[in-house]
Amino acid sequence: MPRRAFKVFVELEGMYRNLVEQLVLYAVNNGITKFTRLKAERYHEVRSLYPQLPSHYVYTACQDAAERAHSFLRLRRMGRARKPYPEVRGVSIWLDDHLWRAEGLTSISMTTHRGRVRVSVELNKHFLRYVNRGWRLASEAKVKLDRRDRRLVFYLTFKKEVSEYRPKGYITVDVNEDAEAVLIDGLVYLLETDLSRVTLGYYYRRKRVQERYDRVYGLGSRPERKIFKRLSNNEGALKKEIRWKLAALIAREAARRQAAIVLERLGKEPANHMIEHIKDPQLRHRVFQAAFKGMQRAIEEKAREYGVPVIYIDPRNTSRTCPIHGAEIIYGRDRHGTCSKGGETWHRDVVACYNLLLRALSGDGGHAPSRMRALVTVDGGPVPLGPTAAHEPAGVPRALWARWRSLGATSDHKLVRVST
Ligand SMILES: [Zn+2]
């Protein structure tokens, strides 16, 4: 933006920040967490501070402050607040329908203390994706000042009227360190992500750089920090790309079949047995965040975009019991095990996927077909789940699935070629 126009927003932000600071202080002192009460008690006084400011900024500042006070008081109750009062550091100005208006797709007009200001906008891909899928802008928005590039960053909310989504089936996803097992139409795809390998790879590269540079330039030198920054940018970008691509693939398949996505409910701590072999707690945390949490979050976000519901299932013992016999599976090496009752061979990820599906089917009593359940309760060998081929996942390397638009469109010969 031109300097002069931007100055208006700098002034606006200053006033807004001051309002929020005062309101938060009052709210925390009086234990107020509700917008309505904060507004009722403080509106008139705060309003008179800046008579030139459109009154709706006082409303939104009250909302902003009430939310900040709410989360601060909750942290304090849990003993996790580090300061006696919440600090108002980053500010984004909250807007309601009186304060801004989208004018087509090219500009936004905002009400300020200096009248209406029209700002031309540059849309991003994300925005257009939502608009194309039939989402409409909601009336609430936030705007943040980017002082370095002298521009405004708008945070918009989309909404959509949806008819009730009655899942006709489930797609179950078992997230692992380096691959994701996805059960679609009775076939388990093992889509390789290599996420933990990426994390570990960069970790060791950083370590090598550190050792070399510390020796030459001393601890934490400038060139070392520069390389670190570049490495972590590359790492982040690569992981992000892997996650989004895979999440989009799964969400698209679910939407096409009108299926729900079934995920494991993950705990907060990286106590997952999958990464026990990593001793460094920080590194373990990073692997967990990237490979498990990050992957799940990407799927959730993509599912939302496509309007697909996500169901969470308790993952306890999902890979330990035979989906057919309910008996324990004894695992040997290389993720393969034998059912202690039927004697058939199972791949660990296939077991997990089927058990997640069974739990989903029995859990919500839902609208999904009971075909799977009927087949699985039939006793007597691996027949209900098909020939042994079904017990072996179709492994798909990242280079391959990253180019797919859908799983169904891939002919089976491709898969066979890969898995043999
Ligand atoms: Zn069995």
What is the DSSP code string of 84-106?
A: SS----S--EEE-TTTEEEETTT
pTM: 0.67
What pLDDT does residue 23 have?
96
Q: Using the mean position of ligand 1's atoms as its centre, give its distance from the Cα of residue 256 in Å.
A: 32
Which residue(s) pair with 331 in the sheet? 337
Protein residues near ligand 1, an ion, with CB under 5 A: 322, 324-325, 339, 342
Q: Using the mean position of ligand 1's atoms as its centre, give its distance from the Cα of residue 405 in Å.
A: 35
Cβ neighbours of residue 178 under 8 Å, at least 6 residues apart? 192, 193, 194, 195, 196, 197, 291
What pLDDT does residue 87 have?
87
Q: Using the mean position of ligand 1's atoms as its centre, give its distance from the Cα of residue 152 in Å.
A: 60
What pLDDT does residue 386 have?
46
What pLDDT does residue 390 have?
52
Widest distance between CA atoms in the chain: 80
Q: Using the mean position of ligand 1's atoms as its centre, give its distance from the Cα of residue 355 in Å.
A: 12
Q: Using the mean position of ligand 1's atoms as its centre, give its distance from the Cα of residue 276 in Å.
A: 27
Nearest CA to 407 among 195, 238, 180? Answer: 180
What pLDDT does residue 165 have?
80
Question: For 172, left (φ over 0), alpha (ψ -120 to 50), or beta?
Answer: beta
Q: Using the mean position of ligand 1's atoms as its centre, give its distance from the Cα of residue 418 in Å.
A: 27
Residue for token digits 């898969």?
Answer: 415
Q: Using the mean position of ligand 1's atoms as its centre, give its distance from the Cα of residue 334 in Å.
A: 19
What pLDDT does residue 205 have?
92
Identify the sign of the CA torsion 191, 193, 194, 196: negative
C-alpha 191/C-alpha 181 separation (Å) is: 6
Q: Using the mean position of ligand 1's atoms as its centre, give its distance from the Cα of residue 156 in Å.
A: 51
Q: Using the mean position of ligand 1's atoms as its centre, give its distance from the Cα of residue 344 in Å.
A: 6
C-alpha 387/C-alpha 384 separation (Å) is: 8
Identify the sign of the CA torsion 196, 201, 207, 209: negative
Question: Which of the residues in the chain have pLDDT under 70?
Answer: 268-274, 363-391, 408-420
Q: Using the mean position of ligand 1's atoms as its centre, give its distance from the Cα of residue 98 in Å.
A: 63
Sheet holding 100-103, edge to edge: 100-103, 107-112, 115-120
Q: Using the mean position of ligand 1's atoms as its centre, give its distance from the Cα of residue 184 in Å.
A: 21
Q: Using the mean position of ligand 1's atoms as its centre, give its distance from the Cα of residue 408 in Å.
A: 28
Q: Using the mean position of ligand 1's atoms as its centre, give its distance from the Cα of residue 181 in Å.
A: 20
Q: Using the mean position of ligand 1's atoms as its centre, give its distance from the Cα of residue 356 in Å.
A: 16
Q: Using the mean position of ligand 1's atoms as its centre, give its distance from the Cα of residue 357 in Å.
A: 16
pLDDT per residue as tens digits for the range 299-315: 999 998 888 999 998 88
Nearest CA to 91 among 38, 13, 10? Answer: 13
Q: Using the mean position of ligand 1's atoms as its centre, give its distance from the Cα of residue 325 in Å.
A: 4
Cβ neighbours of residue 243 under 8 Å, at least 6 residues apart? 193, 195, 294, 295, 298
Nearest CA to 160 among 196, 128, 133, 197? Answer: 133
Nearest CA to 96 among 115, 110, 117, 113? Answer: 110
What pLDDT does residue 290 have?
81
Q: Using the mean position of ligand 1's atoms as its centre, give its distance from the Cα of residue 172 in Å.
A: 20
Residue 72 CA from chain centroid, whole number = 23
